[in-house]
Structures are given as structure tokens and as C-alpha cells.
Amino acid sequence: MKLIIRKSRVHIILFSILTAFFFSSLAPLQGQEKEAPLKLKVVTEQANIRQKPDIGSTIIYQVPMGTFLEYLGQEGEWYKVQLKSDKGEILSGYVHESLIITIRPIPQEEPVKEEAPQKEQETESKESQIISPPFVEPTQFKSSLSPVQISFSGGGNFFFGGDLNKGAQGLADFYEDILSAERNGEVRPAHLSYIAGGELIIRLHPSVFLGIGVDYFKGKKESQIEFIRGKASYVFTTCPKIQAIPIKLMISYFPIPSFYIKSGIEYYFAQCTYYYNIQTDDFWENWEGKSKAQELGLMGGLGIVQNVSSHLSVFLEGIGRYARIRGFKGTNYFEDSTGFSSSEEGTLYIYQGQISEEKSYPLLFIRKKRPAEAGVLNPAHAMIDLSGFSLTAGFRIHF
């Protein structure tokens, strides 16, 4: 009987030891559950992970909707998060609170720093629980620009001018020849203008945008030349002028967020004006012609952009244009010092004014009919060349 009692006591002691061991082994597991990493879930089509907690900071990663991120801390409206790349690297950055939701309540207190061995254990636990989005190289990141933007810009523009400049130069040469005079001064062609414009920009794809816009540019150049023949002096003044309003339809492509390439078509509402005046001490003559035309053109260029805030960016843009416009219609006005004046409506022509069999000069005038009188060679519709290059700077408002 004593032997049986002793055996029962041994069994009870062994059972107590095993029970205590079992519950002590559960304690660490329960602690680990309480310390499970906090999760954030991406709820927008695409979330930008930035290097610093700032909208203007560099985008280092992009993750799609549904991706789970690990919470590391919070700075204002920004959460510091951690990801695992497809290469097995642990990567960290900042995401804005508007792009995610919290899966578990996030404590207000800062995370408690653990000892080095515990950090290694936490890292292993985090790696096993993170859903890893595909890693994207920085050069492949898409534009972070908002879906709708309005831009305003201004700058300088260079244009060739075409027959508008040829006519001014040709008439000066014509007078020099028929007056047989000594010439002081040169005709300076019109090439420069200011330019201003605006665009409505709509995102079609993360890196492709459609733009609809309008520009306005205007330029002129006045020149004054003196012809001296003996004691007589003649002063010739010319002032070619252009102005145009191109309406633009463009596509812009962003290979990287801060750089874009654009191209498109433009429809020009153009106006050109010539002004000629020659006078002596007791006589003067004056011609002024104003004409308008419409034509299609092409454009293309490059630009760089930098975010200032979540709703504003600045940019610098260089654009090349091809626009050679014919068919200008308008009115030529003539008057002289005797009080005589006249006007003639018609088409803008360029033709050679012949002085001799060997000499002729290009002249630009608005004529009712195609010039065909004696001394006129090769009449044709004038071509005003607005092709050139513009450099502008401006800002964009993001919505």
C-alpha cells in the first residue's frame, strides 16, 4: 500500500512539473502576438514612397493598391514605413496619410527601442509578414504629377520672318539703287518677340499627359537708313511686325518625374504688318499694310519640372516650331505729304521689282490683283515664316 502511495506522489509531482513547463513556454508566444508589427494598407491606385516626409522629396518607390506596409513611426501627416524588395532588401521611406488606412490602431507614443538581439528577431518576423511589392529602379518611376493641372508661362521667342523681312530689305536696296545714293545704316530684320501662354493638362496615363493651350507672341523691328545724294538727304524707315495666337493640342511624355518631352500641332491666327516711309526736307511718302491669315503648324520640345508643394510646381521649357503661313489678306494704306491718300484691299504678294535687266529687288505689298505690270517679275503669295524657337518659364497649379 505504501508503494502505491509513493508512486502516486511521483506521478503528481511529474504532472505539476510538466504543467508549469507548458504554461511557461506559452508566455513568450503570447508576448510575440502582442508585439506583432502594425500594418498600413494602400487604398489608392498607386502610392508614392518618398525619401523624406515632404511632397517635394524624391520618390524612391511606388506601390500598387492593396499593398501592406509596416508602420515604423509618424511625422505629422507622414507615416514612416518599411518594405521588402523583390531582391530581399528591407527598404524604408515615407507615405502620406491620405494614401493608406491603418489595419490596427496606431499608438501615439513613439516605439520603444529594443536591444540589438531583439531587433534582429523583429526584422525576421517583419520580413515574413510583409507583402512585397515589385521593386522599381529610380529611373523607371512614373510622374507624380496630379491628374489635372493648369499652367501659365512667359518668355522669349525667335522667329525667321520669311518674306516680311525680305520685303523690308528689298525696298531699302531698291531706293539705294534708283537714287544712286550713298547709304548709312542697315535694315535690321524682325526676329525676336515676347511670348506668353497657358495650358490645361490632363493625365491619360501615369507618364502621359494631354495638353490643350494657347500662346500669344508679338514682335517688331524698326530700322532707319539715310541715303545721301550730293546735298540731298533721304531718310527711309521700315518696321516689319508680326503677332500670332497659336492654339495648341499636345502630348507630353515623362520618362522620369522631373523631365518631359512634348509634341503636337498648332493652329495659327496670324497677323503681319509692314511699314515703309521715305522723306526729304519737303516731301514724304508712307505705306502701311495689315493682313491676316490662318494656318496649321507643328511644335515639339523638352522641359524640366520641380514640385514646390502638393499643389504647385515650376518648370522651364524649350519649344521648336514649324509654321510657314501664306494667303494673307488685308489692306494697304498709302499717303503722302501733298495730302493724297488711298487704300487697296487684297492679298499679300512678294515679287521682284525690276530696275534693269540685271537688277531686281524683292518687294512686299498688298495688291488687289496679282501684280502683272511692267517691271514686275515672279509674283507669288508672300510666305511669313513664324518657325523658330521659344524659351519659357512658368508654374503649374495641381488639382
Residue 239, domain extent: 148-398
- Most confident of the ranges 21-30, 33-42, 53-62, 182-191: 182-191
pLDDT at residue 83 above 70?
yes
Residues 220 and 294 in one domain: yes
Residue 113 sits in a domain of what CATH number? Answer: 2.30.30.40
User: How far apart are alpha carbons 59 and 97 in whole angstroms?
Assistant: 16
User: Are 154 and 279 part of one and the same domain?
Assistant: yes
Residues 128, 199 within the same domain: no
Q: pLDDT at position 104, please?
A: 62
pLDDT category, 300, cuts 50, 70, 90?
very high
How far is residue 358 from each of residues 177, 195, 274, 354, 355, measured CA to CA in Å? 12, 42, 27, 8, 8
Same domain, residue pair 168 and 191: yes
Q: Domain check: are 152 and 89 in the same one?
A: no
**Confidence grade of residue 258 (pLDDT, cut at 50, 70, 90):** very high
Q: Which residue, among 161, 218, 211, 221, has the nearest Cα to 195 in the 3D structure?
A: 218
pTM above 0.75, yes or no: no
Q: Are residues 83 and 224 located together in one domain of the fold?
A: no
| Boundary of a domain, candidates 103, 120, 140 | 140
Query: Which range has the top average pLDDT, 39-43, 114-118, 271-275, 308-312?
Result: 271-275
The answer to whether residue 15 is domain-embedded is: no
* 127 and 236 both lie in a single domain: no
With bands split at pLDDT 50, 70 and 90, how would you rate the model's confidence at 189?
Answer: very high
The three three-digit cell numbers of residue 107, written as one number: 499608438
Q: Average pLDDT, stretch 242-263?
A: 96
Q: Looking at the domain assignment, is residue 4 inside a domain?
A: no
Nearest of 339, 324, 333 to residue 293 by alpha carbon: 324
Q: Based on the fold, state whether residues 175 and 107 are members of the same structural domain.
A: no
* Half-sphere exposure at residue 216, Cβ-oriented, CA atoms within 13 angstroms: 4
> Is 301 a member of any domain?
yes
- Asked whether the predicted pLDDT for residue 140 surpasses 80, the reply is no
The CATH number that applies at residue 182 is 2.40.160
CA dist 11 and 329 (Å) reads: 116
Among the listed ranges 88-97, 125-134, 368-377, which one has the minimum average pLDDT value?
125-134
295 plus 378 within the same structural domain:
yes
Dihedrals φ, ψ of 60, to 5°? -100, -25
Mean residue pLDDT of the chain comes to 84
Using one digit for the tens of pLDDT, what is the confidence trace for 46-65?
A: 888 888 898 878 888 888 88
Calculate mean pLDDT across residues 342-353.
Answer: 97
C-alpha angle 356/359/363, rounded to 5°?
Answer: 105
pLDDT tens-digit readout, 322-336: 999 999 999 999 999
> Is the pLDDT reported for residue 33 higher than 80?
no
Is the same domain home to 211 and 162?
yes
Q: How many domains does the chain have?
A: 2
Final residue of a structural domain among 89, 123, 140? 140
Nine cell digits for residue 382: 508672300
- Phi/psi zone of residue 260: left (φ > 0), alpha (ψ -120 to 50 degrees), beta? beta
Residue 186 DSSP label:
-
